Amino acid sequence: MCGIIGYIGKKNIVDVLISGLKKLEYRGYDSSGIAILKENKIIRHRSVGKISQMEASLPSEFKNLSSKDDCIGIAHTRWATHGKPSEENAHPHIDCTKSFVLVHNGIIENYFELKTKLKKHKFLSDTDTEVIVHLIEENYNGSLIEAVKKTLKLLEGSYAFVLLSKYDPKKLFFARKDSPLIIGLAEDEKLIASDVTAMLEYTNKFIFLENEDFGEVSAKDIKIFNLKRDSIQQRPITLVNWSAQMAEKSGFKHFMLKEIYEQPQVLRENITSRVFGEDIIFDDELKFKKDLLKKIEKILIIGCGTSYHAGLVCKYFFENILKIPTEVDIASEFRYRNPILKNNTLAIFISQSGETADTLASLRLIKRYKLPTLGICNVVGSSLYREADSTIYIRCGPEIGVASTKAFTGQLISLYLFGLYLAKIKKTTSHQRYIELLNSLYKTPTYIENILSDTSFLKHLAELFYSKKDFLYLARGINYPVALEGALKLKEISYIHAEGYPAGEMKHGPIALIDKDMPVVIIATKGALLQKVFSNLEEVKSRDAKVIALTNYGVESKSIDYKIILPETDELISPILNVVPLQLLAYYIADILGCDIDQPRNLAKSVTVE
Ligand code: F6R
């Protein structure tokens, strides 16, 4: 949700913090702030709105920094939870004596109770965060690390925070629980941030902090402690082979468009690194013994938003090729519904960020039942990766646009490969069918390149329909979740109301919405249910709706007003292609409307709070 960065080193502190914050802006963008030490005094600046607004309004004391001490600071980009977006509520927050300043991501659930106990302290914001900095002030008795430790013992909820104090001006203090925090290692300088993308410009070496880690970092040294253990903790250094350029727009107008165009390359990378001849190989990322996999009788898939939609597609795929029941749940529902869990169930958790609070809570719940857990994740070293028994990385590179695109197709391709791998082990699909599906998967990157090579018709459709208030997306079978995903893309980036529906269910309610002003996007690519889709198409057309159909050459119907022709592929593989024009249609409509496509209102990329 929020983004944190801290730096200690020799570079211009304001430049490092502002450029890092810009990389983190996708995590929250309603207000931001920065605090540095200048001549051993904390100076702070905060502003509502985008980081560029905060940067433009920086007072002169943040400029022309010359002293060698001016190289330590912290900064924050906020997505409001407690307290509306305002300058007072923006981080960093400072204590009464102006000696401690802190940035925080997460939610302190018992902040109200703690606040009432801190009667002597003057609170200046409505945030839960402010309570932490006053507690540090209260608990400080000459040792900052002790003050941090004492404070952590009082906190309930989730936190990742970085603290700066004039009492120890060459160190940053940090702690994390259920919100990500990563230390970036470079020679004679250190960074600490919510996400590696903010640090890639300076280093590829990272330490991913564990839950309940806390500690201190100076330009040359790091000390990590853990609330549950007494000694200093050793944490592995992870090399992340993403480059700083991967987190740039590279000439595209928006990250979302760039990421849509990256899909062929992402899928190709996934296939070529895992498919060798007729074999699918998951090296050491898949830690399950084949005997365990052979015994799997049920699959449970959990995720949120787009990741949930990827899970729904896989339900159809897995049930078809594995012949075992596959249940898909929204994480925020699953974690509270006392699920009935049986042995020999494999639980799969899909999350681009690997930090989604509800998905992680569901994972922790399943782990209590001792079922095998598999993460499907993009962000290297994320909490999902560290907590699941095994994790398959979807290898998409950083996804910066808030609307997920390449992660969706990356999740699908990784899960499809895993499904085929499992089908081979469990012998649930004939060799011929296995090869057919593998061949079809091989062709998907080229087919997507084909779709992306000429988008003029999609732009034309966007021109025709951008002023509409409501859209309906319909499909059947394995493409029904793609209808949900198409509608989600449109609503989140263009703010146009859109609903995805199973085409056969439409006459049980949504048909009442249809009139001449309602564009209906229908997925009518070749497959077993095409004739059924046609019947639904007639129902829509006879209510005068404008019908936009995703279809293939040779599919004819007078009821289609606008045809988006796609390469023909196996029906089971078709969702990977069908979603691409829907991503683009949403993008072009939002672009005409002048929406803030990469950072839509009210959304955040990584939903680390419940
Ligand atoms: C939609 C979107 C969200 C995420 C959801 C889960 O475009 O991006 O719906 O899919 O917040 O996020 P992850 O996959 O990081 O768990």
The answer to whether residues 136 and 153 touch, using CB atoms and an 8 Å cutoff, is no
Q: Which atom of ligand 1 is nearest to the CA of 607?
A: 11
Token pair 């590696």: residue = 196
Residue nearest to atom 3 of ligand 1 (CA): 305
Catalytic residue among 2, 304, 314, 595: 2
Q: Does CATH number 3.40.50.10490 belong to domain 255-452?
A: yes
Cα–Cα distance, 279 to 281 (Å, whole number)? 6
Name which of 440, 436, 431, 437 is nearest 419 in CA terms. Answer: 437
The CATH class of 456-592 is: alpha beta
Determine if the peptide bond prior to 600 is cis (ω within 30°): no
Pairing of strands 213-217, 172-177: antiparallel
Longest dimension (CA), the chain: 80
Select from 301, 409, 494, 607 the residue to mutate for testing ligand 1; criterion: most ligand atoms less than 8 Å from CB. 607
How many Å apart are CA 548 and CA 528, to the nearest integer? 20
Distance 259 CA to ligand 1 centre (A): 15
Question: How many of the other CB atoms lie within 10 Å of CB of 536?
Answer: 25
> How long a stretch of residues is the chain?
610
| Exposure string over 487-511, b if 16+ CB within 10 A, otherwise e | bbbbbbbbebebbbbbbbebeeeeb
CA–CA gap between residue 140 and residue 103 (Å, rounded): 18
Contacts of 605 (CB under 8 A, 6+ apart): 26, 27, 353, 399, 400, 402
The amino acid sitting at 148 is V
CATH superfamily entry for domain 3-245? Aminohydrolase, N-terminal nucleophile (Ntn) domain (3.60.20.10)
User: Whole-angstrom Cα distance, residue 159 to residue 181?
Assistant: 9
pLDDT at 80: 81
Residue 584: per-residue pLDDT: 98
* Ligand 1 nearest atom to the CA of residue 489, by list position: 7
Exposure class string for 29-51: b at 16+ Cβ within 10 A, else e: bbbbbbbbbbeeebbbbbbbebb
Q: If 0-12 CB within 10 Å is exposed, 13-18 middle and 19+ buried, where does residue 120 land?
A: exposed
Place of tokens 């211009």: 12
Which residues of the chain are modeled with pLDDT < 50?
A: none
Tell me which residue of 604, 223, 206 sits closest to 385, measured CA to CA: 206
User: Cα angle vertex 553, ends 504, 486, to 5°?
Assistant: 45
Report the alpha-carbon distance of residue 312 to residue 411 in Å, rounded: 12
Pair of tokens at residue 508: 């049980």
User: Are the beta carbons of 600 and 28 closer than 8 angstroms?
Assistant: no
Taking the CB of residue 113, how many other CB atoms lie within 10 A of it?
A: 12
Of the candidates 151, 176, 180, 145, the residue with the CA atom closest to the CA atom of residue 161: 176
Provide the token pair at 473: 């997306």
Element (H, E) at 191: strand 189-193
pLDDT confidence of residue 606: 75
Strands 205-208 and 238-239: antiparallel
The active-site residue out of 50, 190, 541, 605 is 605
Tokens of 380: 């290297």
**What was the pLDDT predicted at 68?**
60
| Spatial CA neighbour of 465 closest among 543, 539, 564 | 564
Which of 476, 491, 560 lies closest to 523 in space, CA to CA? 476
Contact 304, 332 (CB under 8 A): yes
CA distance 78 to 255: 20
Residue 353 CA to ligand 1 centre (angstroms): 8
Report whether 159 contacts 151 (CB < 8 A): no
**124-163 tens-digit pLDDT:** 999 999 999 999 999 999 999 999 999 999 999 999 999 9
Nearest by Cα to 20 from 256, 203, 159: 203
Q: Given this model, what pLDDT does residue 431 score? A: 97
Residue 71 designated active-site:
no
Query: How far is Cα of residue 508 from the mean position of the Cα atoms in its chain?
Result: 34
Please answer whether residues 298 and 305 qualify as being in contact, where contact means their C-beta atoms are separated by less than 8 angstroms: no
Position 66 scores a pLDDT of 64
The yes-or-no answer to whether 255-452 and 456-592 have a common fold is yes
- Tokens for 379, please give them: 């962000």
Structure tokens at 333: 């529902």
pLDDT of residue 247: 81
CB crowding 323-361: b at 16 or more within 10 Å, else e: ebebebbbbbebbeeebeeeeebbbbbbbbbbbbbbbbb
Closest C-alpha to ligand 1, atom 7: 403
- Report the 3 state secondary structure along 91-151: CCEECCCCCEEEEEEEEECCHHHHHHHCCCCCCCCCCCCHHHHHHHHHHCCCCHHHHHHHH
Q: Which residues line ligand 1 (CB under 6 A)?
A: 304-307, 351-353, 356, 359, 403-404, 488, 492, 606-607
Contacts of 157 (CB under 8 A, 6+ apart): 106, 107, 108, 109, 110, 111, 128, 178
User: Does residue 258 carry a catalytic annotation?
Assistant: no
Per DSSP, the three-state class of 78 is strand
Rounded distance from Cα 408 to ligand 1 centre (Å)? 9
Q: Domain residues of the chain, as ranges? A: 3-245, 255-452, 456-592
Q: Across the chain, how many H-helices and E-strands are there?
A: 18, 26
Q: What is the pLDDT of residue 502?
A: 97
Distance 583 CA to ligand 1 centre (A): 14
